[in-house]
Structure 1
Amino acid sequence: MMRLRFTILFISLISIATALQAQTKNITVKGKVIDGKSEQPVEFATVVLKDKNTEKNITGKTTAADGTFEIKTDVSDFYVEVSFIGFETKAIKDISIANGMANLGTIAMGENEEVLEELLIVGERSTTEFELDKKVFNVGKDLSSAGGSAFDVLNNVPSVNVNIEGEISLRGSTGVEILINGKPSVLTSESGSNALGTITADMIEKIEVITNPSAKYNAEGTSGIINIVIKKEERKGTNGSVSINTGVPHNHSLGLSLNHRTEKFNLFSQVGAGYRNMPNESRNINTDLGSNTSVISNGEEDKYEQFYNFSLGTDYYINPTNVLTLSGNFAYEIEDQPSTSYFSSLDENNEVVSEWNRDQATSATNPKWQYELQYKSDFKDDEDHVLLFSATGSHFGKDQSSEYTNVTTYGENVDSNQQTDTDFKETEYTFKLDYTKPFLDKFTLETGGQYNINDVGNDYSVSNLEDGTWVVDPDLSNVFEYHQNVLALYGTGAYEGDKWGLKLGLRVETTDLNTVLKNTGEENNQNYTNLFPSVHTSYKLTNNFSVQAGFSKRILRPRLWNLNPFFNISNNYSIRTGNPDLRPEYTDSYELAAMYIVDKISWNVGVYHRYTTDVVERISTFEDNVNISKPYNIGTNRATGVELNGKYLPANWLSITGEINYNYYIREGSLETTSFDFDADQWTSKVTTKFKFPLDIDFEVTGHYQSEYQTVQSIISNNLFADMGVRKKILKGRGVINMSVRDIFASRRMETITNQSDFYLYSYGKRGRFVTLGFSFGFGKGEAMEFSGQKMH
C-alpha cells in the first residue's frame, strides 16, 4: 500500500513539472543594496517589482546578507522599488534589459528618520527560503510566539515539533542536533534541560532546518540539524528597545536592548530580568498483571524561577573586508520547585491497602555563560570568497537539593524521608574554521574543520533519614564524569548553473569518548573514526518549479543523560536511569523534494527515507510495582515519509500557512529473548491563519495536530491544541501592545500507555493554558522587539 502511495506521488510530481514548463520566466533582475553613508550592505531590504501601469506588486524578495538580490519575472513593463526600515524608499524606473538581464548595479539607500508603517508590515512576515542543502525559516513577528521562548518559535517552524517537556523532534524523530549560530552550545545540550528557554523569541533572527545536511555541517543528528541564528543589530547610530510583559500563570519580565554603531565599531547588548511559573499536573498508574496489584499517583507541581540575563558584544571593522567580533552572555536562574503527589496502593481485589502523600521541595541555582571570538575576512575578488574562524566557550552549572517526605494517610505505614543533592557542571569549547572559494561564477569549493571539547562532572547523592540521621544510599548515589572530544575535517565542491546544481562532500570525524563512574571505578572508553559523504542536486524545470534530491550519512552519539547511570527518584515508583555502554546510532538519509512558487501560492513537497542502525530506545522493566526505564541499542529502523508545506496569500489582509508530515516506519530488533519487531505510522500537521484588521490590529491563530504513534513498548497518544495572538501598533509603529494565548483550550498533554504481558504503565502530564500581555517600544532607528522570558510550556 505504501509503495502504491509513493508511486502515485512521484507520478504527480512529474506531471506537475511537465505542465509548468510552459511558464518559464525569461527576465532576471539583480543588484546590490547598500547604506549610502557607510557603504555597508543592507540585509533584508525589500525589493519589489511593480507594474508600471497599475502600480500593483508583481513579485518581490528580500536582500541577502551581502545586500544582493536576484528576481525572475516574465513581465517586461515594470519598475523596481527598494525599501527598508530607517531608509527612504527608492524607486528605479529607468531600467535597461539586455539578453534577458536587468542589472541594476549598486543601489545606495538614504537614511529616513521616520519609520514607515507599510515597510514594518512587510518586514514582519515570516518566510521560508529553500537553498541547495537546507530550508531557512526567517522569523517574523509570529503573534502566537510573542512573549515566548525559542521553544515556542520552534513549534511554529515547518517540520519541527516540541512537546510539553521541551523535547524537540524533526519529522517525528528526536535524533536532531540543535546548534546556535552554527555551533554546539550547552544551552542546547540535553544536560541544559530547559536552558534553551532562556533564548527569547525576540532574540531570534532565523531558524535553519537542515533535514539532509551537506558535509559542511556537523554529522551529529540522525534526523538532521536545527540551527538557531541570533539577531545582531547593525544599523548605524544608537538603536534600542525596552519591553515589559506580564502573564498568567506568573510570567513577568523586563527587557532592554541597546545597539550603537559607528564607522569602526558596532556595540550590541541585551539585559533582561523576570519571574515565572510553570505548573504541571501528572497522573501515573503502575500495575503488576501477575499479582493484579497497582500503585496510582496524582501530582501537582509548580516551578518558580527568577532569571537574569546579560549579553554584550562588539564588532570591530578592521577595514572594509575584515571584521573581528567578541561577544558574551551570562544568565543566572534561581529555582523553587514544590510539588505534592497523592499515592494509593491497591491489592488484587482493587481495594486500597494504603494511601500517602509524597511532598517534594526542590531549590536550585543555575549559572550559565558563553563567550565567542570570531574573525571574518572577505576577499576583494568575490563577495562569496570568505574565511571565517570562531572560538566559543560555554558553561552550564546546577547546584540543586531536593527533599522528599512520605506521609501515610491511610492503611499500611509507608512514612519515609529522602533527600538528593546534585552538583552538576558542563563546559564546552568549540573551535571552527571555514573557507569558501568561488571559481568561474558557477563553481565553489568549501573546506574547514571543527574541534569540539565537552567535559561534564555530575556529583549526585541520595540519602535516607534513619533514626534522625541522613544516611547516603550507595546504590543510588554516584559521581559521574563524561569527556568527549570530536575532531572533524570536511571538503565540498559545488556546481550551480542556471538550471542544474550539484554539491558533493565528504566529512571525517574522530570521536574520543570516556565515561567514569567514580564510586565503582567502572569506565567506558570509545574511540572511533567515521566517514560521512553527502550528495545534493537540484534542477529548475521552470523559474517557478524546481526539484531537489540529496543523500547524507549521519550519526547520533549517546546523549549524556542516557549514559549517566544515575537514578531519578522524583517519583520512586517510576525511575529513570542511564546506560554507559550505549553505542552511537548511524543513519543513511535520502530525500527528494519539489518546490513551486507563484504569486500568491507557494508549496514544497518532499519524500524521504531514513535507515538507522543501533537505535537507542528506553526499555521498562518492572518489579514490586516499580518501573525502571533504561536505554538500550535496539536493532534498526526504516522510516519512509511524505512532507508537504504550503503558503497561500489570498488577500493583503490574509495569509494561510499549512504543513503535513506523514511517515511509515518498520522496527526490527531484540533484547535478550524479547523481540521488538513491528511496523507503524504517525503524522503531524499545523495550520496558521493570519489576519490584518484596520487600526493596525493583527490577529493570528495556529492549530496543531500530532497523531498517536507506537514505540517499542508503548503507545503515545494523539495531541490536538491551538495557539493565538493579537497585536496593536501605536506611536507610528514604534510601540507594540501584544497578547498571546498558548494552548487556548488547555488540551495539550503528554500521555503514554505501556501494555506488556506482565505489567501495565500509564503516564500523563499537562501544563495548561498560558496567557501573556506585553508592551514594547523601540527608539533610535530600532523598533519594538517584544522581549520576554517565558520558557517552554
Structure 2
Amino acid sequence: MCKQLYTYLLLFIVLPYFTVNAQQTSVEITGKVLESTNNQPIEYATISVIDHTTKKPITGTVTNANGTFSIKVETHNFYIEVSFMGYTTKRFNKEKFVGRKINLGTILLSEDQHALDEIVVNAEKSQTEFKLDKRIFNVGTDLSNTGASALEVLNNVPSVNVNIEGEISLRGSSGVQILINGKPSVLSSAGSNALGTITADMIEQIEVITNPSAKYEASGTGGIINIIMKKSEKRGLNGSVSLNAGVPNSNSFGMSLNKRTEHFNIFSQMGFGRRTYPEDNKTINSDLTDNTTVSSVGKREMNEKFKNFILGTDYHINALNVLTLSGSYAYEIEDQNSKANYNETDITETITDSWLREETTEATNPKLSYELQYKKNFKRHKDQSLLFSAIGSSFKKDESSIFNNTTILGDEPDETQLSRTDYALEDYTFKLDYTHPFLEVFTLETGSQYAINKVTNDYAVDGLGDVFNFNQNVLGIYNTLAYEGEIWGIKLGLRLENTETNTLLKTSNVENSKSYTNLFPTIHTSYKFSENTSFQAGYSKRINRPSLRELNPFSNIRNNFSISTGNPDLQPEYTDSFEITTIHKFEKASLNFSFYNRYTEDVIERVNTFEDGVNTSKPENIGTNNTSGLEMNGKYNPIDWFSLNGDFNWNHFNRKGDFETTSFDFKGNRWSASLTSKFNLPARFDLEISGNYNSSFKTFQNEISDNLFADVGLRKKIFKGKTILNISVRDLFASRVDETTTTQPTYYLYNSRKRGRFITFGISYGFGKGEAMEFSGQRIR
C-alpha cells in the first residue's frame, strides 16, 4: 500500500513536468519582409512575439539587410506582429501556426499614409530648438529654400541677415564666425564665394550661437553660426538625387549616396551646375566744392560653373571607438561681364564727358579640404568622450580682368586697364576635446586648438603690383564646468588664446607683426520656472581679428571713382556680450524674448575719403560701440494645417570715438522683422510665404536704406513621398535694393545694387532606403 502510494505520488509530481516540458518545446519562426510597392527588402523591421493572454511582448527580433528573420519561441500561446515605422502593421494569429517550424513566407508591408503625415507634422513643430547656449534651426522645413544658396538659407534664419554682397551679420553685427560642423573651414574663411561648394540640400541644421561658451574659438564679436552638414547613417544603401532649373540661369544636379554596414559608414555627395547672377547698379560721386559730378548706370552679370565632391567614411572600430576620414573638392569657373555708362557734369549740370566702361573677368577657384577625426566613448558614462581632429584645407584663385573705357563725349582718349590676382590660402587646425560627466549633474570639458592660416596674394594693375603675405597662428586652451539639474543649471568657462600674426608687402618690403595673449571668460545659466516657462542668461568675451579682406591693401578698380582697400595696420576688436532670454510655451504657440548688450572696443569701421572726384573706402579702428537690443521670435499653430513664424529685432547703438581730429560720436537705431506663414494644403501640397523688412540705419558717414522683400515656396509630394516637386520665388516683387548714401560737407556719394527676382523649379527623388530631399540644391553665392 505504501509502495503504491509512493508511486502515485511520484507520478503526480513528475507528470506535470513532462506535460509542461512537452508544451514548451521551442518553435522556430522565419520569414521575409518586403515593401509592397517595389518588393525591396525592409531592413530593421520589428518582429514581435506577444502573449495572447496578457498582450505583453515575450520576445522579438529585427530583419537583416535582406529582409529575412529567424526567431525561436518557448511557448505556444502567442501571436506575431510585423511592423516598421511609416508602414502598416501586420498580425499573424496562433490559429495559423502548425508544428515546431513556422514559415510566414513573404510579408508585404505597405506605407501608412496617415502615419507619414503625422511624422511631417511633428517635424514642423520641432523646427527651432533651444539649448543652454544656442538655438538650432532645422533647415529642411523651409519651402522657399528650393534652389537656394547657403547664404539665402541663412537669410531665412532669425537674427541673421545677408546683404546683396554676401556679407553676414548677426543681430546687426558683422563680426560673425562661420563654422562647418563645429570647425573652421576653407569654405567659410575665404570669403563669401568660398561657400559655393555647399548646396542647400547638404545642410541639416544651422546653429546660431549669440553668446558662445569657452569651448568655442573666441573669434567673432557678433557670435557664431555653425552649419551642420547632412550625413546619413542608415543601414544598407540609400541615396537621393535632385535636379533644378531656374530663371535667371540656375541649373544644377546633385546626388548623395550612403552605405552603412556593421563597421563602416561610407558617405558621399556630388553636385555640378551653372548659375547666373545679374546685377543692376548705379553710382553718384558729387564734389560739392566745385559742383562737378560723375555718375554711372550699368549692368553686371556673373556666370559660374561649379562642381563639388564630398567623400568620407566612418570606421566603427568597436562600440566605443570611431575613426572618420573625409575630404571634399570643388572647382569653379567664373566669368564676369559688365557695362556701365559714365557721365561727368559741371556746375550747370551739363555733360562735359561721357564714356562706356566694359569689364571682362575670368577666374578659376579650386578648393580642397580634408579631415581626420577620432572619437572615443567610455563605458563609464554615455556622454564621456575624447575627440581629436586634424583639418587641412586650401583655396586658390587665379583671376584676370580687362577694363575698357570707350569715349563717347569729350577729349579723353580710349583706355584699357589690365589686372590680375593670384591668390592662395592654406588653413590647418588641430583640436583635442575631452568631456567628463560626474556625480550625475556635473560635466567638465577641457581641450585645446591650434590653428595655422597662411595667405599669399599676388596682385597687379597694368603690370604694377605687389605680393601680400599674411600668416596667423592661434593657440587656444579652454576649460568649462557645468552643473545641470532638473530646474537650474550653470556653465562656467575660461579660454586662453595666444595670437601671432605677420603681414608683409614683399615688393615694397613693408612688414607688420603682432603678438598678443588674451583671456576669454564665459558664463551661462538657465532656470526652469515650469514646464512652459524657462529663463536663460549668458556672458562672453569675444575677439574679432581683422579678416584678410580688411587687411589686404590692394584696391578694387571695377569703378575707378569708388575704390575699396584694406588696412594691414588694423587691430582686433574686443567685445563684452550679455544676454537674457525667456522662453514661453503655450498650447498652440511659443514665444521667446531676448535682451542683449554688446560693448565693443577698437571698433573696425570703414572711412570714406574724397579727392579729385574719387572716393576711397578704408577700414580703421575707431573708438567704442555700445549696442543694446530686444529680440522677439515665436510660432503660432492655430490649426493643424496653418502656422505662423515671426521674428523681430530692434537695437540702439551709441558710437564714440575720434579719428584724425574728427569726432565719430553718434547714436542710432535699427530694426528688422520677418513673418513666415505655412499652409498644409490638400493633395499633399505645402505652401510657404515669407516677408522680410530691414530698416534704414546710419553709420558715421553713411546711411543704409531700408528694404522689403518676399519669398514664396510650393512643394508637392508624389509617389508616396519618394519624389518631391518644389518651386520657389525669391524676392517675389524684385524689391530688394541695397542703397548707401554718404552726405558730407564737401562731397555726396550714392551707390545702389539690385539682383532682382529668382524663380527655381526642382525635383528630388529618394532611392533605396533614401528619402527625397525637402528642397533641391544650388550653387552658393
Q: TM-score, normalised by structure 2?
A: 0.86
1-structure distance, mates of 2:693, 2:651: 15
Which residue of the partner structure matches residue 449 of structure 1? 448
1:545 and 2:538 aligned: no
> What whole-Å deviation, never above 9, does each CA across 1:515-539 have from its counterpart, x for those lacking one?
1001111011011000000011111
**Mapping of 1:119-158 within 5 angstroms?**
119=118, 121-122=120-121, 124-125=123-124, 127-158=127-158
> What whole-Å deviation, never above 9, does each CA across 1:36-62 have from its counterpart, x for those lacking one?
98899xxxxxxxxxxxxxxxxxxxxxx
- Tell me if structure 2 keeps the 8 A contact 1:241–1:256: yes
Q: Which amino acid aligns with 1:387?
A: L
Q: Which amino acid aligns with 2:184?
A: P
Pair 1:39–1:88, CA change in 2 (3 A): closer
2-structure distance, mates of 1:609, 1:371: 38
Aligned residue among 497, 503, 507 for 1:515: 503
2-structure distance, mates of 1:84, 1:563: 57
Residue 122 of structure 1, CA deviation:
3.3
SS at match of 1:418: strand
SS at match of 1:194: helix
2-structure distance, mates of 1:706, 1:89: 51
Q: Which amino acid aligns with 2:360?
A: A
- Tell me if structure 2 keeps the 8 A contact 1:691–1:698: yes
Residue 124 of structure 1, CA deviation:
4.9
Pair 1:344–1:88, CA change in 2 (3 A): same
Pair 1:120–1:358, CA change in 2 (3 A): farther
Residue 626 of structure 1, CA deviation:
0.5
**Mapping of 1:587-626 within 5 angstroms?**
587-626=575-614
1-structure distance, mates of 2:457, 2:533: 53
Q: Which amino acid aligns with 1:526?
A: K
2-structure distance, mates of 1:775, 1:201: 14
Which residue of the partner structure matches residue 491 of structure 2? 503
Which residue of the partner structure matches residue 208 of structure 2? 209
- Tell me if structure 1 keeps the 8 A contact 2:201–2:777: no
**Mapping of 1:171-570 within 5 angstroms?**
171-189=171-189, 191-463=190-462, 472-473=463-464, 477-570=465-558
Pair 1:393–1:115, CA change in 2 (3 A): farther
1-structure distance, mates of 2:662, 2:479: 44
Which residue of the partner structure matches residue 95 of structure 1? none
1:688 and 2:676 aligned: yes
Residue 275 of structure 1, CA deviation:
1.1
- Tell me if structure 1 keeps the 8 A contact 2:167–2:192: no
> What whole-Å deviation, never above 9, does each CA across 1:375-420 have from its counterpart, x for those lacking one?
1111112111111111111111110100000000112324211010
Aligned residue among 716, 736, 739 for 1:728: 716
2-structure distance, mates of 1:88, 1:328: 40
Q: Which amino acid aligns with 2:534?
A: S
Residue 792 of structure 1, CA deviation:
5.1
Residue 216 of structure 1, CA deviation:
0.7
1-structure distance, mates of 2:436, 2:108: 34
2-structure distance, mates of 1:386, 1:624: 63
Residue 769 of structure 1, CA deviation:
0.2
- Tell me if structure 2 keeps the 8 A contact 1:166–1:792: no
Which residue of the partner structure matches residue 104 of structure 2? none
1-structure distance, mates of 2:388, 2:333: 35
- Tell me if structure 2 keeps the 8 A contact 1:398–1:424: yes
Q: Which amino acid aligns with 2:172?
A: G
> What whole-Å deviation, never above 9, does each CA across 1:117-161 have from its counterpart, x for those lacking one?
325523652611111111111222311111112112111111111
Q: Which amino acid aligns with 1:367?
A: P
Residue 787 of structure 1, CA deviation:
6.6
SS at match of 1:188: helix
> What whole-Å deviation, never above 9, does each CA across 1:214-272 have from its counterpart, x for those lacking one?
11111111111000010101111110111110000000111111111111111111111
2-structure distance, mates of 1:789, 1:458: 32
Pair 1:613–1:87, CA change in 2 (3 A): farther
Which residue of the partner structure matches residue 669 of structure 1? 657
- Tell me if structure 2 keeps the 8 A contact 1:644–1:659: yes
SS at match of 2:563: strand
Q: Which amino acid aligns with 2:220?
A: G
2-structure distance, mates of 1:694, 1:726: 13
Which residue of the partner structure matches residue 74 of structure 1? none
Which residue of the partner structure matches residue 57 of structure 2? none
2-structure distance, mates of 1:791, 1:687: 26
Residue 599 of structure 1, CA deviation:
2.8
2-structure distance, mates of 1:39, 1:581: 64
Which residue of the partner structure matches residue 727 of structure 2? 739
SS at match of 1:269: strand
1-structure distance, mates of 2:333, 2:441: 54
Q: Which amino acid aligns with 1:634?
A: I
Q: Which amino acid aligns with 1:401?
A: S
- Tell me if structure 1 keeps the 8 A contact 2:198–2:780: no
- Tell me if structure 2 keeps the 8 A contact 1:634–1:670: yes
2-structure distance, mates of 1:146, 1:343: 38
- Tell me if structure 2 keeps the 8 A contact 1:212–1:589: yes
Residue 115 of structure 1, CA deviation:
7.5
2-structure distance, mates of 1:703, 1:760: 32
Alignment gaps of 5+ in structure 2? 1-41, 47-82, 91-106
RMSD over equivalenced CA pairs, Å: 2.0
Number of residues of Structure 1 aligned to a counterpart in Structure 2: 686
> What whole-Å deviation, never above 9, does each CA across 1:539-576 have from its counterpart, x for those lacking one?
11111101111111000001111111001101111111
Pair 1:357–1:371, CA change in 2 (3 A): same
Q: Which amino acid aligns with 2:400?
A: S
SS at match of 2:216: coil
- Tell me if structure 2 keeps the 8 A contact 1:244–1:787: no
Could you say which structure has the larger radius of gyration?
2
2-structure distance, mates of 1:227, 1:243: 24
2-structure distance, mates of 1:661, 1:211: 13
> What whole-Å deviation, never above 9, does each CA across 1:596-653 have from its counterpart, x for those lacking one?
1123111110100000000000101011110111000010000000000100111111
Q: Which amino acid aligns with 1:585?
A: E
Which residue of the partner structure matches residue 775 of structure 1? 763
Pair 1:550–1:640, CA change in 2 (3 A): same
Pair 1:459–1:85, CA change in 2 (3 A): farther
Q: TM-score, normalised by structure 1?
A: 0.84
Which residue of the partner structure matches residue 636 of structure 1? 624
Percent identical residues: 59
Which residue of the partner structure matches residue 705 of structure 1? 693
2-structure distance, mates of 1:504, 1:738: 45
- Tell me if structure 1 keeps the 8 A contact 2:763–2:776: no
- Tell me if structure 1 keeps the 8 A contact 2:735–2:756: yes
> What whole-Å deviation, never above 9, does each CA across 1:724-765 have from its counterpart, x for those lacking one?
100111010000111000000000111000001111100000
1-structure distance, mates of 2:194, 2:110: 38
2-structure distance, mates of 1:409, 1:772: 39
1-structure distance, mates of 2:399, 2:110: 50
> What whole-Å deviation, never above 9, does each CA across 1:458-494 have from its counterpart, x for those lacking one?
000000xxxxxxxx23xxx221000011110000000
Residue 111 of structure 1, CA deviation:
12
- Tell me if structure 1 keeps the 8 A contact 2:141–2:774: no
2-structure distance, mates of 1:460, 1:681: 39
SS at match of 2:188: coil
> What whole-Å deviation, never above 9, does each CA across 1:179-210 have from its counterpart, x for those lacking one?
00111112112x33322133111111111100
Residue 112 of structure 1, CA deviation:
7.1
2-structure distance, mates of 1:433, 1:768: 46
2-structure distance, mates of 1:194, 1:549: 35
